[in-house]
Amino acid sequence: MRPGVAVVLASASLLVLAPGAPPTAGPPLPARMADTGGGSQLITAQAPRAGATSGTVIWWDRRNGTWVKAGSATARFGAKGLVEGASRKQGTNTTPTGLYDLPYAFGIKKAPDGTEVTYRPVRQNSWWCQDNDSRSYNRWTEPRPADCRADRSEHLISYTTQYAHAYVIGFNYAEPVLGRGAGIFLHVNGRGATAGCVSVPAAAMRAILAWADPVRRPHIAIGTASGATAITRY
């Protein structure tokens, strides 16, 4: 999803790394969720309400049966807020809620030290196809195929800030539904709200990639504090 700037956030982003932080009152967030993906690592991206454009990302480890916070950062969401992933439509500047896998990471810069997940370097001919008429819809292409129009796709190397480091969110990825949306990533903050992705400060993005362990099957859950898109539903 093109990381355009629709809303400029005035508050400064804050990264807080808290390995082994003591739990807050009540069970930790992952323990209250319907599903966490079956692994022992989880990223939660939570907004206070569906119309919000900012919130919090926390990455968690499951240790000895208990979810423990590994780190957290302020997050940005779509300029039009968040919507249920199953009914989302492309081009709406909304972030899809739900529980998703994280197929691989990529970046214009080299992988952060300690990165173990699959990491694809962005090259001059790297594109993410968002053309609903293409057989490559919602896929990385290198080079861009003839049936994937440039004006309906992302030339990844053009987004030097946002795609310095990024993690593919598995929304509409395994079996893409045309028109639902393409190119939803966890990436570095731009100047404001996203066009549907989740973004965090650069230091947080590097920390997440160095933390993620594919053997532990990390997933990401995106949702709100309450209501129909409450993160605990996923």
pLDDT in tens, 98-117: 999 999 999 999 999 999 99
State the Cα–Cα distance between residues 152 and 128, nearest whole angstrom: 9
Q: Cα–chain-centroid distance for residue 152?
A: 21
**Any bridge partners for residue 129, and if so which?**
139, 153
* pLDDT beyond 90 at 78: yes
- Token pair listed for 205: 């993005």
Give the tens place of pLDDT for each residue, 126-184. Answer: 999 999 999 999 999 999 999 999 999 999 999 999 999 999 999 999 999 999 999 99
Structure-model confidence comparison of residues 22 and 42, the more confident one: 42
Give 65's pLDDT tier (boundaries 50, 70, 90).
Answer: very high
Distances 28 to 46, 55, 58, 194 between C-alpha atoms, Å: 13, 17, 11, 27
How confident is the model over 204-221, as a mean pLDDT?
98
Segment 27-56 shows an average pLDDT of 98
With cut-offs at 50, 70 and 90, classify the pLDDT of residue 223.
Answer: very high
- pLDDT over 70 (residue 31): yes
pTM confidence score: 0.90
Decide which of 27 and 24 is more confident. 27
CA atoms within 13 A on the CB side of 124: 0
pLDDT (0 to 100) of residue 25: 66
Percentage helix, strand, coil, to 5, in the chain?
15, 35, 55
pLDDT of residue 26: 87
Could you tell me which residues come within 8 angstroms of residue 19 by beta carbon, excluding any fewer than 6 positions away?
70, 71
pLDDT at residue 40 tops 90 = yes
Position 18 pLDDT exceeds 60: no
> Could you please report the per-residue DSSP string of 115-158?
--S-EEEP-TT-EEE--TTSTTTTEEESS--TTS-GGGEEEGGG
187, 177 in Cβ contact below 8 A? no
